[in-house]
Structure 1
Amino acid sequence: MHRRTALSVSAALLAAAPLLTACASDTRAGTAAVVGGERIATSALQAQVKDVREAQNRSPQAADLIGNSAGLERAKLNSMIQSLVLEKAAKNAGLTVTTREIEDARAADVQRLGGEEQFEAMVLQQASIAPDQIDAAVRDRLIVGKLGDKYGHDQIIGPVTAAAKQLGVKVNPRYGAWDASKIQLAAVKTPWITQRTVPREAPRPA
């Protein structure tokens, strides 16, 4: 079976059962979202966005990268929420991901793509992930893989939906509405589950 890449973790989970929806009264000023009682601060969200913008600005394709990621703030919040949901699903399933597993998976992706610089550029271009955010994305991808191994790759929706329902998701309306049917913020395309292998051809220019 092919290993998933940090980019591949794609597209929303489909046909999810209803979850708790966003509620304006449940988020305070300075809070982007609350997941399972854990507050995602606006400052933490903005820090992730800043990291991506700085990485994009260092790229020769800066204008295209920035232009193609106009919804970056919402997309980053979406990823932060989904990471917490995946963590809960993994905990429910008795699954863990070690630092060594993350290192090994990242090293394999780097080798396959011809080096760290090429890998980081590809992740930035295709998923708007800054270099210092890659390990977290790899961890999410490994959790998805382990959930698939445990439940079947076509059955991941069940445990992830259950985890999201247990946690509850409350989003500051400034960032949109939580779509309970897809386990994502409305109108956000996410790097989650559809594409499963590293592209073998060189990435197309942005």
Structure 2
Amino acid sequence: MHRRRRTALLLSAATVAAAPLLSACGNDAHPGAAAVVGGHRITVAQLENRVNEVRDAQRSATADRTQYEQTVARSGTLTRDTLQGMVLDEVLHRAARDAGVTVSRHEIQKMRDGLEQQTGGARALERTWLQQYGVAPARLDDNLRLQIEAQKLAAKLGTDTTQPAFWKALSKASDELDIDLNPRYGTWDVQKSSRVDAKTPWLREVGAGQRTA
């Protein structure tokens, strides 16, 4: 499961963190957009929804408010990490498409069945992916599909997801997609297929009891 866990960490939607306020987002070129990827807008509302899915799942999985607040307090970049995950998903899709890689529903279910056996059932798997990778239960199958996609792409390239050849394919896809992040979330490094943090001292962190606005 080590390889799967590495890939899950790579492709997870977020890490457990406190979310910055999202009000008044949007840049001059793309108002209301958190990012534009290949001409497709990832809106602030879509980003908010993803963040709140994780927050709601975390709240449901914790016994009390104090435990939930401790979960939130463990790190501080959920919104930005979630956006990176959403963009990286698109990059991986493009790289896989360019290489002729596809993933079937059967492959997703097979991986899920195997992971459920290893973790102790469906609920245990959902809890593990939420706690370790910040993936809400509703997004679990999507995340597993991405893992399979990454593994099949790496295999087709004759490498694995830790090697430069794999990341070179993602860099090429990043360049093709002409990724444009809202400046408050940083910039996109094409070579690394990763978000680079911008210095945004005006961003406030939402308290444990608040949702993004």
TM-score w.r.t. length of structure 1: 0.78
Cα gap change, 1:104 to 1:11, in 2 (>3 Å): closer
SS at match of 2:42: strand
Question: 1:90–1:143: 8 Å Cα contact kept in structure 2?
Answer: yes
**Does the 8 Å contact 2:167/2:193 carry over to 1?**
no
User: Is residue 2:78 matched to residue 1:76?
Assistant: no
Between the aligned partners of 2:70 and 2:191, the Cα distance in structure 1 is: 32
| CA distance in 2: counterparts of 1:7 and 1:157, whole angstroms | 14
Distance in 1 of aligned mates of 2:197 and 2:123: 31
Deviations 1:91-141 (A, max 9, x none): 100010111211111121111111111111111111111101111111111
Does structure 2 conserve the Cα–Cα contact (< 8 Å) formed by 1:6 and 1:141? no
CA offsets per residue over residues 19-64 of structure 1, 9 Å max, x none? Answer: xxxxx554x2211000011110111110000000001111224223
Task: Give distance in 1, aligned partners of 2:8 and 2:129.
Answer: 11
* Contact 1:6 1:123 (8 Å CA) reproduced: no
1:34 aligns to 2:36 (yes or no): yes
RMSD: 2.1
- What amino acid is aligned across from residue 108 of structure 1 in structure 2? G
Using the TM superposition, give the Cα deviation of residue 148 of structure 1 relative to its aligned residue in structure 2, in angstroms: 1.2
Alignment gaps of 5+ in structure 2: 12-26, 199-213
Contact 1:6 1:138 in 2 (8 A): no
Point out where structure 1 has 5 or more consecutive residues left out of the alignment: 13-23, 189-206
Q: Cα offset for 1:6?
A: 6.1
Map of 1:143 onto structure 2: 149
Distance change >3 Å, CA 150–CA 7, structure 1 → 2: closer
Hey, what's the Cα distance between the residues in 2 that align with 1:187 and 1:127? Answer: 20
Relative to 1, partners in 2 of residues 1:131 and 1:6: Cα closer, same or farther, differing over 3 Å? farther
159 and 180 in structure 1: CA distance in 2 versus 1, 3 angstrom threshold: closer
1:54 & 1:70 partners in 2: Cα distance?
A: 17
Preserved CA contact (<8 Å) 1:5 1:109: no
How big is each residue's C-alpha offset from its partner over 1:154-191, in whole Å with a ceiling of 9 and x where there is no partner?
Answer: 22112111111111110001212223342111259xxx
For the 8 Å contact 1:36–1:167, the answer to whether it is kept is yes
CA distance in 1, matches of 2:146, 2:32: 26
Moved over 4 A (4+): none
Cα pair distance change 1:181/1:41, threshold 3 Å: same
Match of 1:118 in 2: 124
Q: Distance in 2 between matches of 1:138 and 1:187?
A: 27
The 5 A counterparts of 1:163-182 are: 163-182=173-192
In terms of fraction of residues, the more helix-rich structure is 2
User: How far apart are the structure 2 equivalents of 1:8 and 1:115?
Assistant: 21
Kindly indicate whether residue 133 of structure 2 is the aligned counterpart of residue 127 of structure 1: yes
